[in-house]
Structure 1
């Protein structure tokens, strides 16, 4: 028998409350409002809840999202691991490969500043520690995470040559205005694109750094709640090299050193020289992978160069 949608949401909210907030609380009232989704377009709502508890009435809020199976499974696993940089979550469905309701901790509205903005150093350290903890806990779990898509050579070819970089690049590379602004970078970018599949395949063959990776950890997928960072939107996770998750949050080698140190504190030491070499490969991939978006914006407005320069800087380092 199909449960009405509103009843299903209330049932999930009640179960999440019991699991994470107050086992004896009962929902008296729900005020729901939509949250503007990101690029995924997922249906997301915030629910302001009035609760009745043995201690009296109280208020709290939770978020629901129509999430894919990968995201539901990954967040469940990360919660079981008690990862502090991940919001608590709950779902009734961990098997159906279609979007289904996922209830999440409400982390408010404070998004991480983009990488050109000011971000307190203690939060950068917490990001590094949170990411290192996730990577270390899932390091080498090749069989346990066999259900995850792989960030292997074919993944790189699809994302760079077919889906993102090349289609966007071919629309601008012969534009005289683009050549005037970015001409010296063009042959270097194309050289990086020619070798990135081989370089990323070499990273993927290093079993000792394979783990669960978010694979889309740009700053817009990080929220700051109660002075701590949280990683959101685990929609396209992969099993791949831990280096994949680093350049978007730590776009310079100096910043990435925070992650290397956090990883060492968590139990895995990587020599600075080895780390730098592999970090640069991942930076090239991330730059190529995400350059399409600022290129699209630049085509619409030639003054919008900031993000083109940023992603070029990742490719050229």
Structure 2
């Protein structure tokens, strides 16, 4: 019983490490600290003119309200899981981009073979390998036996996409929150916000710095919606481009379809100028921040395959190449 308890605890610790639970906790804690910390900081109380046309626009209804933006942040998680499950379920043995094979490559002078991740190859190559007996468990019985391993590998790969997704969003949000308070730029609808708060030209200028609606009106640069949209859609676009093999130069339509999340991000960003919530420079800066964090997040957790341009989790290959275990090995 004691051994079973130790084994169970060891597996629990292993799952914590594999699924990067501590990284998720760190990201959430960091985000909450920055967001709520910045709310206690007063942005620069800039002087302004009641005749300034740049800040005298009417406050429009938000085309992409906060609820829609919230949905955009969580829907991709389900899409990552769905597409990874389909890729794992529909691919035959040797054709899935995360299938492993035995290799004679030796690591650090070792004399035993190790399992290596095999980059996704052409479908014909996988079929020829199966016929040649390279994958002995190609039979229906073998496929059924490998389903638990594929499920585990699928979950681990999906987790890396979710982790990159969360890292991209949280890093963008934290950067934007800090820059908003530091810049203190007035929104295009700043005067309209003051009027709705019953503030007039006769109000003591010192009081304007402490009015809640006036404070939000001083947080125009950079655009939070733009950064959030691109931090969500950039990793997702790279994922779609990888799934469609767009980086292999197959055809233009794959690239156009794979970039579909970027179209949505552009629409969200531009809507902020139409709604008079941000200046054009605000959305450009926010978009660049979101795109930058998205590219960084994917680069940190993924690399392109050696034989074909498919994004593969770096950590899974790193562990495998050194004789370590990935989640699928636990199912053995």
The structure with more radius of gyration: 2
| Fold in common (TM above 0.5) | no
* TM-score category, normalised to shorter length: under 0.3
Q: TM-score, normalised by structure 1?
A: 0.24
Q: Comparing both chains, which one has the higher relative contact order based on Cα–Cα distances under 8 Å and sequence gaps of 6 or more?
A: 2
Q: TM-score, normalised by structure 2?
A: 0.24
More strand by share: 1
